[in-house]
Amino acid sequence: MWFEITLALVLLLVVLLYVYLAYRYRYWLRHGVVYVKPSPILGNLGSLLRMQCTSAHMIQAIYHYPEAEDRPFVGIYLFHRPALLLRDPELIKRILSKDFPKFSNRFSNSDCFGDPLGSLNLFFLKNPYWKEIRLKLTPFFSSGKLKQMFPLVEEVGLNLNEYLLKMPLNGENSFQLELKELCALYTTDVIATVAFGIQANSFKYPNGEFRRNGREIFRFSTRRALNFSVVFFLPHLVPYLGIKVVSPKQTEFLRSTMTRVLEEREKSGIRRHDLIDILIDFKNQTKNQPRQDDLKFEGDLLVAQAAIFFTAGFESTSATMSFALYELAKHSEMQERLRKEVRDVLRQSRGKITQQIIESLEYMQMIIDETLRLYPPLPFLDRECSLPKGQSYSLEPFHSFSIPAGMPVYIPVYAVHMDPKYFPHPHEFQPERFSPERRKLITPYTYMPFGLGPHACIGERFAMLQSKVGLLNFLRNHRVTLADTSVKSIKLDPKALILQSQGGIHLNVIRDPLKY
């Protein structure tokens, strides 16, 4: 009797679930929008959640959905939830820039109670708090601040050069290295000294606190990969599943380190013109200001801004540098041209590196820009229609559909970068695309490795400075070639939501000092 009742209830629930999903999966059909046929339960996320491909390639496949060809957008399903993937540069411009106030928040999110450093930082924070904190942090990345930072970055760059010169050589005047980790040692030290006034000494202590904890934050196990997929595609489940962008161990390290530095700096009154100074000023300016909300500019809110600068600052730049060196190893003529540019500027300056010299490296800029086209750190951008509940955003003249409040919208950065319509022969490494003459011909809103619009990466100029100083100091005494262990083409790690090379980047490093 009880078995029959239980079985009947289970069957009823299955039928109700089927009817509910059947109705939900007809959403785009009802609105006359071309959509990618969803799989039961998982919607269009099946290949990502099963880790059959990277997020970049999953979204690229949706972008190239045959029935959506020449359509400005295509409908998708995140499990049962409808979402839009944009395909037209003009529409992307509207969402990211022109009508930014209506799409000012990211759809992705973390748990503000269980993961304060993950949820309160500038990347995940929602309006109006995001706008206020962005405004306060912007001065840290001004031209004047970059000029003040340069000697600190240059010092770490010289440490990178010294580290490489101390590497033991084999009979061919060379040695092998995994370049991603090497570049991460460099960028970790840059962030530590520039932002927090701390000497991390990662070249001497590669398993020191800063490098060890930074490495763990971006180590994508199967579980962590699933957690990040939830953060970006199913953020409403984050609090219920106990998911954290910054794990408890790394939270404790970052919180204790940053809190100690903040307290010591406040007591000493010493100013280094770094991020800590900015955060202290931020705290003091808002301490006595009456607020109608309960957000206090102290404690974890301040630490979260330091944490995102640390994590985003070392990971994205180290990936870009290592991908660039890999492409240079594959294209020896480009590497020689770049080394010639480095030799010429060092000859003119008698070996002294200045910010002006770094900014004059035109071909290096082209190399980095093309690297970021092929390997954008974050392969997609996410936004949410931020209008009040009950309102919607019209997509006229593209379509009669209006985006309702709360609907997620995705911009397929990697897919657009790899679209031959905008970048002919997209799989080929062609720095000339970004020469001063040809750069003007690039269709607006088709190149966006740092995002575009008000929500674009606040540290773009700093990332460029850091990359150029690092590459110059690498190439001034060394060049790279493919090693026996090198892959013929980069295979992206399907567990990593951001772009990471599976198995690292192993190259042969040859001692070859430039003569200047």
**How does pLDDT run across 440-471, given as a tens digit for each residue?**
999 999 999 999 999 999 999 999 999 999 99
Residue 306's pLDDT band, with cuts at 50, 70 and 90, is confident
Letter for the amino acid at 34?
Answer: V
- Check whether 161 has a pLDDT greater than 80: yes
**In which element (H, E) is residue 509 found?**
strand 506-511
- 189: Cβ–Cβ under 8 A, 6 or more apart, which residues? 156, 159, 199, 200, 201, 202, 203, 210
Where is the binding site for heme, in residues? 457
The larger pLDDT score, comparing residue 342 to residue 110, is at 342
Which helix or strand (DSSP H or E) is residue 140 part of? none
- Write down the pLDDT at residue 295: 64
Question: Which residue blocks in 375-434 are alpha helix, DSSP H?
Answer: 413-417
- The CA distance from 359 to 79, in Å, is 46
CA distance 378 to 382: 10
Q: Which residue has the tokens 């990471």?
A: 500
The amino acid sitting at 477 is N
What pLDDT does 331 receive? 98
pLDDT at 388 over 70: yes
What pLDDT score was predicted for residue 347?
Answer: 93
Q: What are phi and psi of 340, to 5 degrees?
A: -65, -40
Selection from 97, 201, 120 nearest residue 445 by Cα: 97
pLDDT (mean) for 340-355: 92
Q: What is the pLDDT of residue 510?
A: 97
Tell me the pLDDT tens digit for each residue of 108-131.
998 888 888 888 899 999 998 899
User: pLDDT band at residue 156, thresholds of 50, 70 and 90?
Assistant: very high
State mean pLDDT over 81-98. 97
pLDDT at 284: 82
> How many other β-carbons are positioned within 10 Å of the β-carbon of residue 445?
22
Give the 3-state secondary structure of residue 176. strand
List beta partners, residue 509: 175, 480
Task: Give the pLDDT confidence score for residue 301 in this predicted structure.
Answer: 87
pLDDT for residue 289: 63
- State residue 436's pLDDT score: 95
Structure tokens at 442: 């690039």
CB 276 within 8 A of CB 284: no
Q: Are 431 and 370 in contact (CB under 8 A)?
A: yes
Distances (CA, A) of 141 to 103, 128, 136, 194, 196: 24, 21, 11, 11, 15
In 3D, which of 510, 453, 137, 462 has the Cα closest to residue 335?
510
Does residue 90 register a pLDDT over 90?
Answer: yes
Indicate if the pLDDT at residue 292 is higher than 60.
Answer: no
Q: Which class for 191: exposed (0-12), middle (13-18), buried (19 or more C-beta within 10 A)?
A: buried
Burial label for 394, CB within 10 Å (0-12, 13-18, 19+), is exposed
**Band (258; pLDDT cuts 50, 70, 90):** confident
Distance CA 236, CA 479 (A): 48
Residue numbering of the annotated binding site: 457
How many CB atoms are closer than 10 A to CB 57? Answer: 18
* Confidence bin at 282 (pLDDT 50/70/90): confident
pLDDT in tens, 223-256: 888 889 999 998 988 988 889 888 889 889 888 9
469-481 pLDDT, tens digit each: 999 999 999 999 9
| pLDDT at residue 57, as a whole number | 96
Alpha-carbon gap, residue 242 to 48, rounded angstroms? 21
Give the model's pLDDT for residue 351. Answer: 85
Phi, psi torsion values for 177, nearest 5 degrees: -140, 155
Position 300 scores a pLDDT of: 86
Q: Is the pLDDT of residue 4 over 90?
A: no
Distance CA 347, CA 403 (A): 57
Mean local confidence (pLDDT), 409-416 = 98
At a CB cut-off of 8 Å and minimum separation 6, what does 427 contact?
Answer: 418
Burial class (CB in 10 A: 0-12, 13-18, 19+), 287: exposed
What pLDDT does residue 290 have? 60
Residue type, 12: L
What number of other Cβ atoms are within 10 A of residue 352's Cβ? 9
Q: With pLDDT > 90 as the criterion, what percentage of the chain qualifies?
A: 64
Q: Does residue 217 carry a pLDDT above 80?
A: yes
**pTM exceeding 0.95:** no
pLDDT band at 19 (very low <50, low <70, confident <90, very high): confident
Residue identified by tokens 């998982």 is 42
Instruction: Return the pLDDT at 438.
Output: 96
Q: Where are the domains positioned within the chain? A: 32-511
Q: Report how far apart, in Å, the C-alpha atoms of 414 and of each of 291, 374, 377, 386 are.
A: 41, 8, 9, 25
Beta bridge partners, 392, equal 404
Strand (E) positions, 353-407? 381-384, 392-394, 402-404
- Is 32-511 in CATH node 1.10.565.10? no
The count of residues in the chain is 516
In this predicted structure, what is the pLDDT of residue 278? 80
Share of the chain above pLDDT 70, in %: 97
pLDDT of 279: 82
Rounded-to-10 torsion of CA 196, 158, 186, 369: 110
Whether 303 has a pLDDT exceeding 90, the answer reads: no
- Taking every pair of Cα atoms in the chain, the longest distance, rounded to a whole number of angstroms, is 92
